[in-house]
Structure 1
Amino acid sequence: MNHLVFQTVVLYAVLYFGQGNHVIQPRNLKVSMNLTLQQLLLEWYVSDDPKTNHCEIDIVFTIQIYRTEENNVILTENYTTALNKSNQPLNWSWISDIPLQCATHGVRLRSMVAPLEAWSNWTSWEAVDGLDVLNDSKGYIFPYEKYVEEGSSVTFCCIAKKNEHVTNYTFHKHTEIVNTTQQRIMFTETAVPLTSEMGLNVYCRFSYQSSFSDLDRTVLFVTRQPDEPRLLDCETKDMVELKCTWDPGEIYSYNDNCLTEFILSDVSHTKTYCSCTKQCRLCQFKVSGEQTKYNLTLVSKNCLGQKQAYVDIDVANRVLLPPPDELSVGYQNATMIQLYWTLKPIMKTLLVVCQVNIFSLDAEEKQYNMTVLSSPPLHPHINLYGLQVYTKYTLKVRCAAANDLFWKWSKWSQTITIQTNESAPAGQLDIWGDISPGFKERNVTVFWKASPGFQANGNIKTYEICWENVEQSGGCHSTKSNNYTISLNSQSYKITVWAKNSASASPPSVLHLSAAEDNGDVKYSEENTTGNTAHGIYVSWKPTSKFDGYVVDWCNYPRSQPCDFQWRRFGQNESSTIITSGAFSRGMRYTFRVYGTQGNRMCLLEKKTKYLEELEPVQDPSFNISAVTSSSVTVSWESYPEDSQLGFIRGYNVYIKMANRNCTLKLSETLLFPGDLVSCKHTIKDRNEKKLTLRNLEPGTTYLLAVQAYSVNPRNMADKFEPVTTQLERNWFHRLLPPLITVPLMIIICVCFWKSDCVRNYLFPEVPHPHVSPVKKTLVIIEDREVTPDRLVVMKKPDISIDSLLFEGRAIENAMYFNPSCCQSLQDQEGASRKLSCASTSYRPL
């Protein structure tokens, strides 16, 4: 070493002092072009002085390049290298920023021994010509199918053939006119955009070209350098083969001249394992004997550059087991499942941990872990306890190397679905009854549903319902529905319901039905919508300490059969709730019954009729018009059926309009509607009042009448009006006629009352007392033909014979006598010449 240093110092001294600033002169400079890579290639030798051929020294070369386009030096660069003993030529290259074919480039250089700071003479210029100096018979455009990086600048040149010139050029659909007669032009495009596989077209038009098809064309491909590979990692499933995977990132070029290539190699062992292109994502290779550690390098490269990623692998810590398979059940009952599965063998015996995942729709997802050896036979199993009865479970298994060798879990096995066995239903049913009273019997519909604590624990096959009372036997029935109707008398009953599956029956649920009683204490009410929500109806009740709870029942669809009967239970201290149901709708009347419960007994407390939201009646009530006079009209109407009411009817509005005049009725509200006519409105706030007499109307006038029912917010006007015309006013004769009749009649009555005795005697003359003449044995009967009686009185005839009519020394009863005074007045009126006769009179002493 010391000898070499000494020799070098001596050489410097000889060169510098022995010959007076001696330098090493470059010689034999040659310049060439690599058009594919667009490089200028320089080759030269140094001086033939034999003193320089036996040692190694550092020498600096200054290289200059000029271009005819700029007509000056475009590059001056120093190049330092060491001279060797072999006297081999020196080389240097330069990549041009424009196509080398577009201009002539000249090169020269000089040298200097580093510590001496004495430069040699410049060599002569060595030039390489571009195609622009050739008198060729065709035109050119450069660069030709070049690949550049996105965002870079690219210089193009167009060279016309001999004695022609360039007229315009087009870059990516943009054409530029050239106002020159030059044979060659150059233009630069900056920030070129990323292109597809087809690239960007560049055209040059020369003076001798007339059609587009004749244009000279080149293609520019703009792409990117490859992304750096990400997530490079390797793993093995059997410790025999190693699989490495990575994310290649985005692939920008699919052209064969600039494909992205991936090369995976081991730096420490200088061995390449894989080389692939395009969407390459993995590489698999055999583990080499006892080698377990690998220093891997992944290179991704294309024509523009390359990127690298590194990873160090210990095979023993990269074991990824294959997923378990052949899952099966060994034994099961209502709360336990014994699960088996199979593991594939691996090269070495490892401690393996397996995780069982169990999932059901009714329970949380759970994992169970167990550890096994990977040596055959690989059929591990696990007992899963504490499962729910008659529940479908989905199970899957995954495994991994245990403890310090844990790398990652295997993929999950295929799932298996298992349903545990049935057992007896747990908990009681929630039962309730709807009573429809009848003449001699009452129909009781018993409903039931699962209570919060009820578990079917299987498929419910049937429901059993039984009923009984103290005095007589009851009955039982089996049904698959959730209700059953029983006809019972007015006595108290005990009703029992329980559910049955294939295993057994649930504990019975009991409902005590009291004897039929008058519900005189039940409170009936209609309530407004205060407290309601968008889908809920507020219900409240007055709590009583004697009840241990409350039940509210209702129908979701009160106008349908079945009505979807529902009920809810509440605690002793609760007094209100919001009943929520998706079936509730606006304008529908719902009835809520509130019961108090004592054990299994129920007592009806209240009935509440409510709406989710009250609506106004859709149609106005029909009405009748009666008692029409010249100044009044009576209007009457019928009420709505309750089932058709969209809200509680709170009153009625009666509207009065006149055809072409304003309404001026007193004691009524006036309304102004379109047309600037004033209408009148009478509001009746008592919904039970369905009659109204309109007074103070004008005679002989037509009115338009309408009746409107309202609930909360009545409409502005009724829909249907009916006309009515008042009667004309009577004339003076009709006005005087009643007094003319009434006054004389009163006078006659008064006179008659004043002369009451005379009138009575005239109308009812006094009847003389009958006179009986004494007779012996012969009854003398006056012929009735001789007189005409003015009165005939028929008296009661006793049951005696004709022989008893005569009695010695006594008057004769029930005989026919003539009364001369009964026809006296007639004789006076008819005249003495006419013979009158009186009727015989049956007489009985008074």
Structure 2
Amino acid sequence: MCEVQTSSSVVPLGSPVTATCFIRDDCPLVTGQAVHMEWHLDDRFIPSSPAANETGSISKVVIPNFNRTRAFLTCCIQASPLQVVGGVEIRAGYPPTAPQNLSCQTNLSTPNTLKCSWSPGQQETHLLTKYTLHTEIRESNKNHTYELPTGVHSYTIPRFDFVLFSEMKVYIKANNELGEATSVPLVLEPLSAAKFDPPKILKVEAVPKRYGCLKLRWSLSQQQAWMCDYRLNVEVRLKLGETIQLIPVKQVKSTRPLDQCRLLHGTRYFAQIRVRYRQSPWSEWSSSQSGVTLESAPTGRLDSWMKVSGDHMHKQLHIQLFWKPSKQFRANGQNVSYVVSVEKSPREKLCCTTENYCTFQLPSEVKKVYLRAVNAAGKSYPTEVQISRPKAHVVNLNITAIPHDDQSLLVKWKSIATTGITGYVVEWRPLLNSNLSLIRFEIANRNQSSLVISGSIEPYKPYGISVYPRFKDGIGLPQTTNAYLRQKAPSIAPKIRIKKTWASKAELTWDEIPLAQRNGVIQSYRVFYWAEEGSIHVVNANREERKVTVKGLNTASLYEAFIMVSTVGGSLNGTTIHFEIEPFDSVTIAMIVITCGVALSLFIIFMVMTCFSNHKRLKGRFWPVVPDPANSSIKRWTSDSTQDTHPSWDNEEPNPMYLSHLSFLDLPIKLSKEEDDLWLNSTEDTSDLGESICGSPFIPGYSGSNSGSVPYATVIFSGPCSSPPPKEPHFYLRSESTQPLLETEESFSPRCYQNMASNEMQGEQCFFGPCHDCVPEEEADPVIHWDDFPFLQALVMNDTEND
């Protein structure tokens, strides 16, 4: 009925495609009607060329660029609906490229096989491509072809299809519907393509009488031991610490030991070997075995670093000496110790140790010491170490330390162009371990301003790095910084405590995080706090003070808070605490108490000052003034007549005064009953009378012990200044005697004293009663008026019988 023909159903991708559609006359779809045909590529319409004949039953289409890998081209008749009368599937792709990287490897283990592998061409064909493996054995003229499953690019040739010692040719063919390609042939001897099993080192030992040589005895694996007579290529790997040394050895039998020389003396090496036959792949490395070369005396010098601190009191120097092998140093032995001495010949050893440091004391006069390395074979030439005194030179080096890679730190400092500086010493140590053996150092020249330090530097651990400037005459003061290889968030967060609260404020504080749990340099502390229904507030704290004050708090609200601690590597939040502000906190109460105390103190001070301002009046109220007769003087009382007669007396002495009270001291002896009654019956207040007349002769039985030094009291008799002068001459008494009065056993009666007041009036006067021994009989007894003598009124003793 209908037929579609194309130039090819498989075409190269991007090439043109031509198709023709034929409709027969007996096709029922076109019987008795005009035919109109059109083309579709999958669901896309393609315009066709004009009809090739008059009937229009033939249609032709040309696709100039077929860019699909697979598509259906259909021929259709325009009807209702559109009718498909024929079609064809067109596939496009590329012809195969030659396979690449063909290689074959022989397995000498049981069973023996030859495995070949390759990789397809670099270009995808988009078509089904088949690969075949071809082998040709020249000596036997045997050819083999192996078809491979789709998508598989390796094949294992069995043992009976190849000969170990015969050359064979191997190649790969690839073909698809567009073409065929062949790989580059590989010509090989199967044994030369064999990968041996790892060999075994039997023993590593020192060569007798040969320094720096090791002898390695080895063998092949048990399955390949039949090749012991064949010459193999061997490679030896010697490992010393982090240093690896490869030594190739050609054409050697497995029965022959390997000698390795030019090694360090007295050094332990770890050895491994691997083998191959001609150009075959290397076997895997053998297991490691160690051996020690013969020992010899250490050679080379030691790099040293000395820290000196002086003791001026005892003139002693405390020294810490550190050392390490220089690039030229060779220990040449296993058990190496170090000796420090004052002299070249180590007779007097300051210390002998296997560590890399030593501490000792020396007199300040010593200028240098000697350092040696010693092993069982001998000792090295001494390294002279000058004792450099510390200098108080401060040099601003601006030291910084940052990570250089995963195992080292980069230390930078400011290079000082000073003629006095000869170099620098960079010292570093772990801060979490104080062992002196962990201190490391490096010597830098004067023009150097940076250094990469490495070796056992762990991440998240703090290291202290110091740079010392070196001078010609000593070592300057260091500058130090702390550094981390890597940082992360701290292991713990500090716990907030409420230190104190007061009106609308609270002070929060916390402890410092232990150094071992910081995991980096603390960059900041941030405190978050909020009320129950309020917004969150953030306060940045000073990382050195470790405290913060939050303000604007309400006394009736409950607050929550937590702290966030941060390093460069991360942050960690602490636990949440709750707190509230009391209306009257301890600070407020203390302020109230202090205010009241200050007010009370001011009041007391004011009262005391007021009292002192009126101390005379108050003193008179509480402490009456009691005259001291011992310190008194005789006062003269005069009248107008006496003033005219004795003007000099009146000018020399002041006016007489009134004394109205006299006090007594406690009596030294017990008075008789009659005398007690006499004092008790007195109407005057004599409670203090004893203070003035202690030892008075008026007291019977008195004897004054101090009569030789205490003067008598002066009693002044006078009248008021306004009273008229008396008609009779005034009498007064004055005694300059220092002896006790009336210290006799006479009767209690006063004696008369001569009146010395006037030359015209010569006579005598008695104070108490008439004078019996000195007054003339014709003169009448004078009358004593006690009101004129107020001071003596205290001496009045009311005797009822005399009244």
TM exceeding 0.5:
no
The structure carrying a bigger strand percent of its residues is 1
